[in-house]
Each structure stands twice: as C-alpha cells, then as structure tokens.
Structure 1
C-alpha cells in the first residue's frame, strides 16, 4: 500500500505506507527534497501540509521555532503520511540523492577504540555499501528512541562494509546505546546513504578537508576518495582536537597519509607544559593562516561541532567570498 503525495504546483510521488517519514520516502522516490540532518535538528526540510493527514513524530523538534509552528510549518523528517496528502515546498534538484537510500540490516563485526571517548564501528550488510564519500547513514540504536545520523569513514565497497566513527556523548542516549547495547554479532537497522556534502570527483580543484571532534568520520572518507584520484589536485587536511590524545586522522587514515599534501593538526586544550610544538587554538584560525592566497584553487569540505561550522562559514563566505557551490558540509545539531 502506498500514499500519493502531491506537491502543490506540480509533481507527485508515492510513499510506502510502511515508510518511517515523509523525507525518507521522498528521497527514496528520487525527489529533490531540501534537507540536511534528517533527524529534526536543522530545520532544512520544512514544508506546509495543504491537505491530508500526517503524524508528527517529535512535537518539540528543535528544527522548528515557535513561529514556524504557529505558521503551520512541519519537518519532513518528523512527519509520517497517514494517507494521500498535498504539500507545499520548493523542490531543488541539488538535493536529488545521487544514490537512493535503502533500509537494510547491518551486523556489527568489529569495534575498535580510536580515542578515550570515540570508537570506529564496523558493520556488514548483505548488499554492497553503496554511497559517495562524505555521506552519512541513519542507525537505529537499540534502547533509544529515533534514529541517529553517523557519517561513513570508509569508501564505498562491494563487500558491504560500513564504518562509522562514534563519540560517546555524556548523557547522549543514542551514542551510549551504541556503545553499551550493541555487541559484535548484533544487528541494527541501517538506512542510507544521505547527505550532500559528498566528494565531487569531477571538480579538479585542490581539496581542503577540515574536521573537528567526531566530524573526523566524513573527512577521512573524503580524504580517502581524493587520495585515490590520479589527477594533479593537492589534498590538505586540518584536524581540530582538544589534546594530542584526541587526534584521529593518523589512526583512521594511515592508508591515505602518503597522498596528503599537508596534514595540519590544531589543539585547543593541550597542556602548556607538554612538548607539543604544533599549532594551538582553533582549527579555523589555522585554515585562515595556511590557506590564504590559495583559496581560489580550493574546494572545501568540513564537519564538526556547530561553533566550528559557523566560524568556517564566516571565514569562507563573508571574509573570503568563496562561492557556496565550493563549500560542502551537512548541518547537524
């Protein structure tokens, strides 16, 4: 059974009655539905319900302001059609999924510590791991309500291997469920791929990758993809962390290190008495210092905490005037 969704002003698509959300059903149907995080935080998938009935899954999702709610706005990632509906939104071909997402069962094969609070989870599916470097998938942690978005740290492969770098967040129900409730041999639901901050292999510019904290996952994936490229582009990797013990790129991307033109780690809370002689401060400050006049030749990919994302947007867009088309990141919360 399916529900027919009509976009006011043109366009129709069908969503399975068993689909979890309007957004996922739309993307599976190849619709260019604007979105970023897929889990209720960013607000990018706002739409209006003109007719029909939809269930709201998370009534207090932070992606909607009180003004949005008063105006009748909804989030597609938190809405589930209960029948045929008509909606109002402006589709954008930029958001058409390069690979339609699928929902599959994934078995945990390995978990290895990367830092004191982060680990790389290795899952296997019975289908090829089909995605573009830099994308993410949604995982359903057992014992936690709702799905969580985690970016792949590896490259697409025929063996069905999906790798995710997950940080245990104090008080975080999803991350703690992944660490405490998922053991090797256990299966979880994996839905993906999602995200449009993926590697553009057809763009010949130099690649600048910037990671902060657990944002290292998609940056490792993009760096690996760029390292595989046989063209003349250069690859620069910036990693921001609190201390030397929190740096992840050397551990996760050893196979790509010889193709990296420059790896620049930046520490914000390393003890003053340590023998660290590298950069200190915030990673966007090192990007500003190191990239400088080379900005015109660069394509930028970054992932990390919201303050880092905001600082980089200000640097790249406001200060340097980098076109939006050359800046790639997915907004989370």
Structure 2
C-alpha cells in the first residue's frame, strides 16, 4: 500500500491526505475539496500552484501549461502532481465559495436515450441517469469508453431542470476513441458510466455584470447550459452570445437559442462565420473569426463577465483579446478542449 502524506494548502488553511499513487487534484476531489481545474490533462494551467515545502513529482505534462523555468522555481500542475512527503502548497487560483462547497464528484450509470447528428461533425448524445446526477450549469463530466478504463470529458448542455436527461454535444474527430463510437458502436439503450461534475465554468451567485459568451464547435454545450440557467432563474443580466463557425451549415440549435433569448435581458446572438456568409438568412451574422467580431462589437469588454468555450486556438485568441482589453482575470471563465484525442 502506498505511503500517504499530508498536504496543507495556503492561503486558505485547508489540509488533506494524499497517497503517493494518486494525483493531488484527484485526492482533493475524493475528500470534497474543489480546487480550481480545467482540462485535468496537464495542458491548461488552471490548477497551477506553487510548492512552498515538500517533495512533489509530476507525470507528463505540457510545457505550455507549466514551462521548465516555472518548474525549476517550484510551480506544479496539481492534476499531474504526486506528493512524496508532507507538503505545503500555495494555491494561485481558488474560489473560496467552491473550495468546500462544490458538488460532490461521483460515478453514476446512465443509458443512452438518443444519438442525433446536429451538424456534419457534431452529435447530440442524450443520457438517462439511473439516479440523480447533481451539477452546476457549465460543468462537465467524464464518460467512460465502454470496455476500457479510458474516459473522455464533455460538457453538459442541460440543467437540473431535466434531471432524467443529460445532453452532451460531441464533436467527431477522425480516429476519435469515443466519438467514433457514435457512428458505429453505441446504440440507444446501451449503458455508459459517467463521473463528475468537474469544472469551474459556472455562473457565480450575486454577480450583476453583463454576460458575454464566446463559443465555437461543441463549446456550444456549456454555454447553452448557462443560458438555460439564466432563463430559469429569471436573470436580469444583459447577455450577448458570439458563436464562431466556418459556414452557416455549421450552425445548430438556432431555434432553441432564440427561445431562450426571448426571455433574457438585452439578449443578442451573433453567428461569426469565417469562411462563407451564404445561407445565413434570418439570423444576425458577421464575417470573420469570432474574436475579431467580438473585438469590433465589444469596446467595453472589461465591464463584462466573459465565458469562453471551444477549440484551443479560439480560446487562446480570445484570452489574448481579453488581456489586451484589460478584462480582470476574475471576470473570465473558460473551458478549453485540449486535443483531438479528446474525442
């Protein structure tokens, strides 16, 4: 049995135990401590922290998330870190409300209720959980690839208002281990194990700033969840949603977005088409990449909370724009799909 060590987190004064054979982030989840995290694959830096005392070693990670100089200085990614002594770790990013008040992570059995293509490369997967699965709008879960110990992470598009159904919007990638099964391998009625919820891409109680959502591809899912939640609680916050796609054929769920927007304050939906404007009748469309359109139309981004979800290049470009627009980091929330292997 692996040795266990005590981890002390500063400046929040929280302690926990971790086995040498488990990652520090996983140990925190197991004990009901919800540390900041994103991809959980060592690629996004959301869980980056600083080791004040103790011995920690990391599994393979991306140097874009934590470069060699940072590692030499004592920075670690908690999703890839193992402790080999008692440690004191300084959290660089944390939400005090979430730390000990997040939704417990658990595994539930689900059955497939529907598999439906919504564009040429995005599929709606609807699951019926065998027991209630609690999550916050904007969060994601792991779906286990049948017959393996591997999983893939996908955001929920629904909210708790439909407890008997969870919807995921999944982009199909060539050779994708999970997404490939959506064409051949998974059928209505099949069982899937689901673990979660994960992620901090959630609306914060009591906030009043306008909401700007920037999405692309399957990043539509968590944004739909946020919009549905805002609608359900009767929010009065102004909401603007910019969705990037190549052509009008890549747009979907437009009727659902219109219906949600009809009950939201000052709602605007803008489809940002990078390749062709043809066939985009009846909706507000602008030419260009989504970040280019946002830059043109949002001169006061720093007065908004910004929610991003989509492919890494889109999210990276948006983060660069937000930094140049002086948007405070505590007003920016994002999920980033880490690689095509995520499919």
**TM-score higher than 0.5 here?**
yes
Residue 244 (1) aligns with residue 257 (2): no
Query: What are the equivalent positions in structure 2 for 1:117-156 lying under 5 Å apart?
Result: 117-142=121-146, 146-156=150-160
Residue 279 (1) aligns with residue 281 (2): no
Summarize deviations over 1:142-187 as a string: whole Å, max 9, x none: 2566321111101124634221100101122232245533321122
Instruction: Give the structure 2 partner of residue 329 of structure 1.
Output: 334
Summarize deviations over 1:50-85 as a string: whole Å, max 9, x none: 469x9x8x646675656677889765434678xx85
Q: Does the residue aligned with 2:90 lie in a helix, a strand or coil?
A: coil
Structure 2 unmatched runs, 5+: 339-343
Aligned mate of 1:166, from 159, 163, 170: 170
Deviation at 1:117, TM superposition (A): 1.0
Aligned mate of 2:16, from 1, 13, 18: 13
Deviation at 1:292, TM superposition (A): 2.1
Give the Cα–Cα distance (whole angstroms) in 1 for the partners of residues 4 and 22 of structure 2: 15
Summarize deviations over 1:111-166 as a string: whole Å, max 9, x none: 12111111111112233231111111111122566321111101124634221100
Instruction: Give the structure 1 partner of residue 26 of structure 2.
Output: 24
Instruction: Give the structure 2 partner of residue 186 of structure 1.
Output: 190
Aligned mate of 2:310, from 304, 309, 320: 304
Given that residues 40 and 78 in structure 1 are in contact (C-alpha distance below 8 angstroms), is that contact kept between their aligned partners in structure 2?
A: yes
User: Which stretch shows the higher mean deviation, 196-205 or 90-99?
Assistant: 90-99
Given that residues 7 and 17 in structure 2 are in contact (C-alpha distance below 8 angstroms), is that contact kept between their aligned partners in structure 1?
A: no
Summarize deviations over 1:231-282 as a string: whole Å, max 9, x none: 43222111111111111241554541423521110111226xx354731111
Given that residues 119 and 249 in structure 2 are in contact (C-alpha distance below 8 angstroms), is that contact kept between their aligned partners in structure 1?
A: yes
TM (norm. structure 1) is: 0.82
Deviation at 1:43, TM superposition (A): 4.0
Instruction: Give the structure 2 partner of residue 210 of structure 1.
Output: 214
* Cα root mean square deviation, aligned: 3.3
Instruction: Give the structure 1 partner of residue 204 of structure 2.
Output: 200
Give the Cα–Cα distance (whole angstroms) in 1 for the partners of residues 85 and 246 of structure 2: 48
Query: What are the equivalent positions in structure 2 for 1:36-185 lying under 5 Å apart?
Result: 36-45=38-47, 50=54, 59=60, 75-78=77-80, 86-91=86-91, 93-94=94-95, 96=99, 98-142=102-146, 146-157=150-161, 159-185=163-189
Consecutive aligned runs of 4 or more in structure 1 exceeding 6 Å deviation = 66-74
Change (3 A) 1:175 1:143: farther
Given that residues 227 and 235 in structure 1 are in contact (C-alpha distance below 8 angstroms), is that contact kept between their aligned partners in structure 2?
A: no
Q: Does the residue aligned with 2:262 lie in a helix, a strand or coil?
A: helix
Change (3 A) 1:232 1:159: closer
Given that residues 216 and 249 in structure 1 are in contact (C-alpha distance below 8 angstroms), is that contact kept between their aligned partners in structure 2?
A: no
User: Which stretch shows the higher mean deviation, 123-132 or 133-142?
Assistant: 123-132
Given that residues 310 and 335 in structure 2 are in contact (C-alpha distance below 8 angstroms), is that contact kept between their aligned partners in structure 1?
A: no
Structure 1 unmatched runs, 5+: none
Change (3 A) 1:221 1:231: closer
TM (norm. structure 2) is: 0.80
Give the Cα–Cα distance (whole angstroms) in 1 for the partners of residues 292 and 299 of structure 2: 11
Paired positions, count? 323
Aligned mate of 1:232, from 211, 232, 236: 236
Instruction: Give the structure 2 partner of residue 289 of structure 1.
Output: 296
